[in-house]
Amino acid sequence: MRISKLKASSTMAMTAGFVVALAVTGVAVGTNFKVTGGDGGGAKMECPRGLALLGHVFDENASIFPGDPAPTITVVATIEANGFLVEEVKTGTHTGTHLDSPGHFITGGRTVDQLNGTDVVWPLYVIDVRQRMAASADDGFQLSIADIRAYERINGKIKNGSMVVIRTGFDAFFRTPAFLDVAPGFSGVAVQWLVDQRNVGGIGSDTFGPDATSDADFSATFTILNNNRVALTTLNNLEAVQVKGDILMAPTVALRNGSGFQTNPLACLGRIENGNHDNDE
């Protein structure tokens, strides 16, 4: 599969065109979203460019990882007949945009009901590989430590506790057979480096998972979960966020003993980065 099928550039200009793109994706452009503590102190959140949701709409046409159960949605009560609307939803816990807890791969690992608030909020860093995919015959490549260091030379050192996401453009193919095509991902070695050297809180992707198709052992997912971190998969709408400078939040339903669950991640959009960064190593 050639990612050149997508009519998208490898980066989004930080100009008026960027604002237009945000408007198209439904972000509240120009809204200085701000929340402060009720007592005038304590908690404070500011999102100068508003908010964006990064989850796919959940329905029965969702792309399913081979072997996972297909979702079904059945209306069991209607407003006309019952005075209210209720649906019965049956799904696997890893369908659509979702979070993987350590218990997904690791025996005795934490499950989603055991996660803390700090496990589901991160500074966001996005490594855009669409241009590389378009120029290469190897769509199933594994992102290396050298690739991450090259990203940092441009964007600065990845900060403690961050979510590092690989952007492939596959979100455009969700609900189509192309979503099953060969895709890149992180190498397990690179993920361990991110844990050891950058103390990241998790890794993510706009594909089925952070593993490259060429990685039959799912080493990227195993490595991040084995280090008691989380993975965030099947992301959508990554055009709304910057390569750095935004905050991502992705809590799930606290399913008891759950290996994962659906989420609709919320991005707090920071100020537009001007390209300056710290060169600390």
- Please state, in angstroms and rounded to a whole number, the distance separating the CA atoms of residues 207 and 140: 12
> What confidence tens digit (pLDDT) does each residue in 168-194 have?
999 999 999 999 999 999 999 999 999
Token digits of residue 113: 């009901």
Share of the chain above pLDDT 70, in %: 83
> What confidence tens digit (pLDDT) does each residue in 126-149 have?
999 999 999 988 899 999 999 999
pTM: 0.85
- Please state, in angstroms and rounded to a whole number, the distance separating the CA atoms of residues 120 and 107: 21
Give me the residues paired with residue 246 across strands: 124
Reported as type and span, the H/E element at residue 196 is: helix 188-198
Dihedral angle over CA of 126, 101, 141, 157, nearest 10 = 40
As a whole number, mean pLDDT of residues 185-206 equals: 98
